[in-house]
Structure 1
Amino acid sequence: MRAPVRWVRADLRAVRGEALLLVLATAGIIVSLLLASAFLSYATNPWQRVFTQSSGAHVWIHTTASADARSLADIDGVKSVSGPFSTAEATAELRGVTAALEMRAAAPQPPDVARPLIVSGRWLASDDPGGIVLESSVARALVAEPGDSLQLRDSDGTDRTLRVVGTADTAEPRYRAEETPGVGWVLLSTLVKEAPDPELRGQTIGLRLENAEDTDFVVQRAVTELGADQVTSVSTWQEAQGEAEGGSRLLGLLLGVFGLGALLAAALAVAGAISTRIRGHLRDISVLKAIGFTPAQLVRMYLGEHLSLALVGVVGGTLAIELLGPLLPGRVGEAMQLWQALPSHAWVPAAISAGMLLLIAATTGAAAWRAGRVPPVPAARAAIPSGRWTSGSVRRALGLRLPPALVLGWRGAFDRPGRAVAAIGRLAVPLLLITVTLGASTTLDAFEHRPQTVGLAASLTARSEGLDQASAQRLLTAHPEVAAAYPGSEVAALVPGQTGTIRLRGLGEEDRPYPFAVAEGRTPSGPDEAAAGQGLLDLLDAEVGDWVRVTVQGSPQVLHIVGRSIESEDGGRVISTSLDTLRESNPALRPGFHHLVLEDGADAIAVKDDLAGTADGRIDVREIGDPADALPPVRGVIISGLIVVLGLIGLADLSATTAAGAQNRRRDLLALRAIGLTPRQIMSVIVAETGFIALAAGVIGTVVGVQVSDWLIDLQGRSSGIGAGIAQSPPPATLIVVVAAAVTGAVAVSALPAARAVRQRLADTLSDSL
């Protein structure tokens, strides 16, 4: 046993740099995988992010005003409480849109537990008793922003006006029309004025538990403590989390694929580094066998050596990211802080580290097993196989006076097809994932900056107050950056069988058709013609070309679906036709809004402000929401975090394999020197060889990545109801930059190993020929 240990120690001392690179590569890969897990938790679970940052309550209990809700703080398993808060029911109305609201009394200082996170505006102030803060989901339903005047109708029928001062996120169940009321926080004095009758008020209290799994038990205890007649409703964190799932499905799909791809890239990188290093010890293995080492001893020796290096790298990388990750600036540090606060953090890092060690053990074991089969006296090989260095293509290339470094680098990169394909495949995987990430980012950018390319032809919607259609049309189109203003109206319609409600939208008129973005079929242009979203086609089991019958206010409406439009609202359950067709069932229908299509390059926010200033309050102009609105907090994670992680994996693979490859090509270096190349030219050959591999991997990775990106995004579009056809490929210039960055990085990481290999004293010995 002493001899294998002594040989391992001698080997590590002889190749300190190579061993250090292997440790650093393993550490970089484990850091990348842990960062990927943090990004996945941060970006795809917005509810968990809000719950963690707000110290959310696991249970919300709504009671009558007379219940002793404070006693729930003493129940076993309750860690802390939020409230109790006095509440009152009301109906909120803003520009004709109504929503059920639970007004909740709050102090000028937000609570410590279940603290609302301000999204826009500010929190309540004691010197502004007429203010209200709306929860984000009900604010979106009302299209409310800070500064709007909200009309409230109390349960006694009294109308009052409150001013929206802010919107906030919470981890409570979100607003759902006719099912779950939205939350609006007001001062206690305001609540008393809005609901002076104590009989019409209630209470709500949030319970934060010591163990989230005890939710059912605590709810039973709470109901028993208060009495079933005192409890009006109960909601739990599981219900809120279930409702919030799927809000960022495109991003979740992207990061899920990224996580699997990163694991594959890491596996290939480790396998390549270890296999390359063991291949370089074939001469040593033959000598060891000749002096009496058994195959089993060799397998244990190599397995133990590389597992020790891997253990050092995995432990070092895990400790580094766990200790230093939360201190990193920007969204990366925020993602790490959130991840460390999640329950899954207790086992995920350990599972990833253990999986990485098992992967390395399997890879090393396979390579070591092959090492154990090396014959003890291998046949002597020529330094350079006959004819290979002087092949016809090489001679012709040199005859054209091409730089020898490029010619010989090309020959060295692809002379062994099997090894070349393996090296290209290992590096192409992270480059493919980078291209997929850029494709998702480009698609989101199109939603935000080029909405017409993904079905959002209009950027603004305007609602007039006290103006007829002609006056509103003239006022809106007078702005130089408004290309067109299309009148529109929306009504609720029942599908056949009256089992569901959809949105029937009338946009434009027959003499001025609306420019729908049609992904399939054609644009509606005649009477009774319509374009439907993917969600509606799935709901009705219909296709483009079918006739459908819907019911609008008791009257049937038969429409011919001539195209599939990109619809980002209501899960794609939208059917759009002209306003004239919509008037067939309701001749008295008047436009409820105008959709504004802007000139190319126009700033929607600036146009909105200009129209608001020139209309003297008679027109309310709002931006049309799009699926990218909820994603800006994680765009930095997409663009920077994922690409950096994938870049680390690629560089780790290149650095380890290039160092080992340069060390193992001593015979080739001897041949290069023998034919008259200078040390600088030899170094250029090694660098060029790595560059050609990176170039091939870059071209393959980006080309395949564009196809995979489009397929994944369109797949998600179909499943979410938006529909296929929203995928936007990265610009060619961006792909060229990715390939150039890959080649530059490969050249950079290969320069040092190449310089070290050239500086070594080369001797044409028997060991270099075996």
Structure 2
Amino acid sequence: MRATLRWAHADFRAHRGEALFVVLASAGIIASLLLAGALFGYAANPWQRVFNQSHGAHIWLHTGAGADTAALSRVDGVAALSGPYRTTATTVESRGARVGVTLRAAATVPPETARPLVTDGNWLAGPDSTGTGAVVLEASVARALWAEPGDTVRVTGPDGAPHALRVSGIAEVAEPRYHPGGGPGIGWVLDDTLDEVAHGDTGQSVGLRLQDPDDTDFTVQRAVTVLGADRVAQVTKWQQARAEAGGDDRLLGQMFAVFGLGALLAAALAAAGAIGARVRGQLRDIAILKAVGFTPGQVTRGFLVQHLAFALLGVTLGTAAIALLGARIPGRIGEATAVWQDLPGHTALMIGIPCGAVLLIAAATGLSAWRAGRVPPVPVARAALPSAAPMTALGRRALGTRVPPALVLGWRAAFPRRGRTLLPVARLALPLVLITVALVAWSTLDQFRSRPAQMGLPAALTVRAGQPAGASDAELERTLAEVPGVAAVHPGAEMAALVPGQTGTITLRGLGTARDPYPAKVVEGRAVSGPDEAVAGQGLLDLLGVRVGAWVRMTVEGRPQILHVVGRTIEPESGGRVITTTIDALRERDPGLRPEFHALVLREGADPETVSAALAGAAAGTLEVRETPNPVDRLEPARAVIAALIAVLALIGLIELLTLIGTGVRDRGRDLLALKAIGLTPRQIGAMIVTAAGLTALASAVVGTTVGVLSGRWLVDTQGASSGIGAGIAQLPPLPVLSMVIVGAVLGAVVAAALPATRAARRRPADSLSETL
């Protein structure tokens, strides 16, 4: 054992550069994986991120104005209080949209506990020069109102008097978000502004942060007892808010789990390649060791101990760098790393990822060390073997026709033999496959935003009559159609229906008429064209276990409705458990059915906010205008994470590329000596090495992007089908983007190979003589 350790120490001193590269490669891979874990936690658990950043409250109690909330601080298990805040119920209107909002009176400085996180604009300030008070809106309320900082909204208090307030900021909180048909949203104003809106008609809200979140139910009982059950109007618990955001967590979690596994596999292959390359580079030393008496076991143990030490050092450096400096990285990566420290699972990942990486590196090292123990002790036998494939007839013909030797020899070096060609191309293609899959996910999100009609959202606005109107339905439709920017008006009605056996509830929707059907996005089958025909979402087909072409019987308000499913549509709402027919078909069951709402399809290029404001003016405020919910709003955090993930994968690919280039230059040492002997100039030799690296990268990029496009489409469509939206939503990246990936990979290989090529070209034949032994 002593001789093994002495040889390992001597080998380290003789090959410090290679050892440093292995250590840095291990550190870079571990840092990349930890950053990927931080990004996954940041994006896949948005509610927990906001809760930790805002030091959120586990319980919110909504009470009457006279409740003594100060006594809650003495309840066992309560760590801190947020508030109490005076509150009042209001209605906020902007651009024709109307939202119920509970206004809270807050100070000019946000509270420490349950602090609203201002994402756009500023926190509350005093009245401006016109005397208009300020309001900060919760993000989901701002989206429903199309409100931005600087806009003016109309607030109607309990007495019905309107008040104009200026939106000073938009904030996120770890409380239930606003959604149409649900509870009211949240807004914050100063005390004076609340007095003007409410005129003394206020309640109270107080948030409780607990020492142990598991004691929520018990603490609620104690708090209600202290305040009095008659004084508590509503209780909101943190589990409720997290459950409402659970769908987003699951969708994002599944999306990034695929990337995480792929990144781990790519990192493992890169680490194994770096270690294997170093072992192959010392075959001559291994042969000499065996010649002087080292056994195969001693050689294996020596390499295993040495590279495990390098792996542990690299893993320690990478983990320490992320733990100490990760939060200081500028941009979203640094923010994600800082927040990740407080998210669930942080400790497990900080321990599990390095330990898993050490095990993978140990396995790769053990295999390479075992191969090193089987190296024959006669180096001449190895020298007699050809290091590359013989020149083919096509290559000789190309040289004879004055094709540049660097191109011909570079092609020969890049693709020597079938087995030796496929492995490096496949290893380098894996990160490019994952990058292309990420680009497919990015393009799909962009498609939801830029071309919603192609993703099952042709109607940008939904209009409901806010109060009984004297005009008939036909007159209302004509009024809506005359608004600039409106291309089509489709009357609609929506109701709950029981599936056969009455074991579940689905959404039955009548939209459009037989003469003017609704332009649903049909991806399988055909659109509705006759009586009793309907299209359905993937979630409904899965629930009933039927396919396109089946007849479906359901019960609506005690009466049967039988429809023929002629097509499958992309259905982002209600988990895809929606069946859509014409409103004429529903009137066959209920002749007195009137439209509950109207779906508006806008002209190309029309701005929904502008059209909404025009609708509010055309109908004198009698309409409630809402923007059609877009599922991409819930996935906005994924954009920045996908961009950062591409950077992490590019780093892993760069490490793999450097390993391949270094291995190629070393393995072709005897070839370079022979080429110099027959008259090739240093510039031609350098060009040959760069060309070989570029061709390998080109082949890997073409394979990686092709496989990535196919697998990315399959993964996105599979995810869409499992979520109920349905397959057919995957959008491929534009051809220029895929071309940029290929060009970027080739340019990266050329730049990375420039320095090794220069060094190899400047070496003298005498320096390379030892490589022939």
> What TM-score results when the alignment is normalised by the length of structure 2?
0.86
Query: CA separation in 2, counterparts of 1:736 and 1:286?
Result: 46
User: CA 1:352–1:388 in structure 2 vs 1: closer, same or farther (change >3 Å)?
Assistant: closer
2:734 is aligned with 1:738: no
Deviation at 1:428?
Answer: 1.2
State the Cα deviation string for residues 685-740 of structure 1 (Å, max 9, x = none): 22222222212221221111112111111111112121111111112222122112
691-700 or 606-615, larger mean C-alpha shift: 606-615
Q: Look up the match of 1:520.
A: 524
Q: Look up the match of 1:529.
A: 533
Query: CA separation in 1, counterparts of 2:596 and 2:215?
Result: 49
2:699 is aligned with 1:692: no
Deviation at 1:159?
Answer: 6.2
State the Cα deviation string for residues 96-134 of structure 1 (Å, max 9, x = none): 999987665545654321123356787667768998766
Query: CA separation in 2, counterparts of 1:130 and 1:541?
Result: 55
State the Cα deviation string for residues 192-215 of structure 1 (Å, max 9, x = none): 8999999xx875432223454565
State the Cα deviation string for residues 152-189 of structure 1 (Å, max 9, x = none): 77xxxx86767786664321345689986655656668
Query: CA separation in 1, counterparts of 2:553 and 2:163?
Result: 42
User: CA 1:499–1:685 in structure 2 vs 1: closer, same or farther (change >3 Å)?
Assistant: same
Query: CA separation in 1, counterparts of 2:734 and 2:445?
Result: 14
Q: Look up the match of 1:728.
A: 731
Q: Look up the match of 2:257.
A: 256
Contact 2:92 2:154 in 1 (8 A): no
- Aligned positions of 1:164-563 closer than 5 A: 168-174=171-177, 204-212=205-213, 215=216, 235-247=236-248, 249-382=250-383, 385=386, 388-462=389-463, 473=477, 477=481, 482=486, 484-496=487-499, 501-553=505-557, 555-563=559-567
Specify the SS of the correspondent of 1:205.
strand
User: CA 1:388–1:268 in structure 2 vs 1: closer, same or farther (change >3 Å)?
Assistant: closer
Query: CA separation in 2, counterparts of 1:597 and 1:315?
Result: 57
Query: CA separation in 1, counterparts of 2:29 and 2:451?
Result: 37
User: CA 1:405–1:610 in structure 2 vs 1: closer, same or farther (change >3 Å)?
Assistant: farther
Specify the SS of the correspondent of 2:528.
coil
Q: Look up the match of 2:38.
A: 38
Deviation at 1:364?
Answer: 1.2
Specify the SS of the correspondent of 2:345.
helix
State the Cα deviation string for residues 211-262 of structure 1 (Å, max 9, x = none): 5456567557656766788777655434432332121544332211111111
Query: CA separation in 2, counterparts of 1:161 and 1:540?
Result: 49
5+ residue gaps, structure 1: none
230-239 or 544-553, larger mean C-alpha shift: 230-239
Deviation at 1:560?
Answer: 2.2
Q: Look up the match of 1:113.
A: 113
State the Cα deviation string for residues 141-161 of structure 1 (Å, max 9, x = none): 8999975556677xxxx8676
Q: Look up the match of 1:669.
A: 672
Query: CA separation in 1, counterparts of 2:232 and 2:485?
Result: 56
Contact 2:97 2:626 in 1 (8 A): no
Query: CA separation in 2, counterparts of 1:197 and 1:595?
Result: 40
2:772 is aligned with 1:762: no
Give the residue type in structure 2 aligned to 1:631.
Answer: L
Deviation at 1:532?
Answer: 1.6
Query: CA separation in 2, counterparts of 1:169 and 1:724?
Result: 32
Specify the SS of the correspondent of 1:376.
coil
Query: CA separation in 2, counterparts of 1:478 and 1:65?
Result: 48
Give the residue type in structure 2 aligned to 1:683.
Answer: G
Query: CA separation in 1, counterparts of 2:766 and 2:315?
Result: 37
User: CA 1:499–1:563 in structure 2 vs 1: closer, same or farther (change >3 Å)?
Assistant: same
Query: CA separation in 2, counterparts of 1:461 and 1:228?
Result: 40
Q: Look up the match of 1:637.
A: 641
Specify the SS of the correspondent of 1:504.
strand
5+ residue gaps, structure 2: none
Query: CA separation in 2, counterparts of 1:275 and 1:492?
Result: 64
Specify the SS of the correspondent of 1:509.
coil
State the Cα deviation string for residues 257-303 of structure 1 (Å, max 9, x = none): 11111110000001111111101111110101212233333223322
Specify the SS of the correspondent of 1:584.
helix
2:567 is aligned with 1:567: no
Query: CA separation in 1, counterparts of 2:497 and 2:344?
Result: 44
664-673 or 561-570, larger mean C-alpha shift: 664-673
Query: CA separation in 2, counterparts of 1:360 and 1:35?
Result: 19
Query: CA separation in 1, counterparts of 2:655 and 2:472?
Result: 67
Give the residue type in structure 2 aligned to 1:20.
Answer: L
Deviation at 1:343?
Answer: 4.6
Give the residue type in structure 2 aligned to 1:407.
Answer: V
Contact 2:144 2:627 in 1 (8 A): no
Give the residue type in structure 1 aligned to 2:430.
Answer: V
126-135 or 397-406, larger mean C-alpha shift: 126-135
Give the residue type in structure 1 aligned to 2:520.
Answer: F
Specify the SS of the correspondent of 1:685.
helix
Give the percent of matched residue pairs that are identical in Structure 1 and Structure 2.
57
User: CA 1:22–1:755 in structure 2 vs 1: closer, same or farther (change >3 Å)?
Assistant: farther
Query: CA separation in 2, counterparts of 1:100 and 1:733?
Result: 46
Specify the SS of the correspondent of 1:317.
helix
Contact 1:18 1:660 in 2 (8 A): no
Specify the SS of the correspondent of 1:506.
strand
Contact 2:456 2:570 in 1 (8 A): yes
Contact 1:532 1:563 in 2 (8 A): yes
Query: CA separation in 2, counterparts of 1:131 and 1:500?
Result: 46
Q: Look up the match of 1:628.
A: 632
Q: Look up the match of 2:72.
A: 72
Query: CA separation in 2, counterparts of 1:123 and 1:557?
Result: 53
Specify the SS of the correspondent of 2:457.
coil
Contact 1:380 1:769 in 2 (8 A): no
Query: CA separation in 2, counterparts of 1:517 and 1:455?
Result: 5
User: CA 1:56–1:752 in structure 2 vs 1: closer, same or farther (change >3 Å)?
Assistant: same
User: CA 1:190–1:607 in structure 2 vs 1: closer, same or farther (change >3 Å)?
Assistant: closer
Contact 1:129 1:189 in 2 (8 A): no
User: CA 1:369–1:594 in structure 2 vs 1: closer, same or farther (change >3 Å)?
Assistant: same
User: CA 1:385–1:133 in structure 2 vs 1: closer, same or farther (change >3 Å)?
Assistant: closer
Contact 1:383 1:671 in 2 (8 A): no
Contact 1:534 1:573 in 2 (8 A): yes
State the Cα deviation string for residues 308-356 of structure 1 (Å, max 9, x = none): 3333333333333333332333222221221133353334223322322
Query: CA separation in 2, counterparts of 1:452 and 1:440?
Result: 18
RMSD of aligned C-alpha atoms? 3.9
User: CA 1:398–1:603 in structure 2 vs 1: closer, same or farther (change >3 Å)?
Assistant: farther
User: CA 1:187–1:666 in structure 2 vs 1: closer, same or farther (change >3 Å)?
Assistant: closer
Query: CA separation in 1, counterparts of 2:606 and 2:480?
Result: 15
Deviation at 1:767?
Answer: 4.5
Query: CA separation in 2, counterparts of 1:385 and 1:279?
Result: 15
Query: CA separation in 2, counterparts of 1:607 and 1:96?
Result: 9
Query: CA separation in 2, counterparts of 1:762 and 1:212?
Result: 72
Specify the SS of the correspondent of 2:247.
coil
Query: CA separation in 1, counterparts of 2:93 and 2:716?
Result: 37
Query: CA separation in 2, counterparts of 1:315 and 1:693?
Result: 32
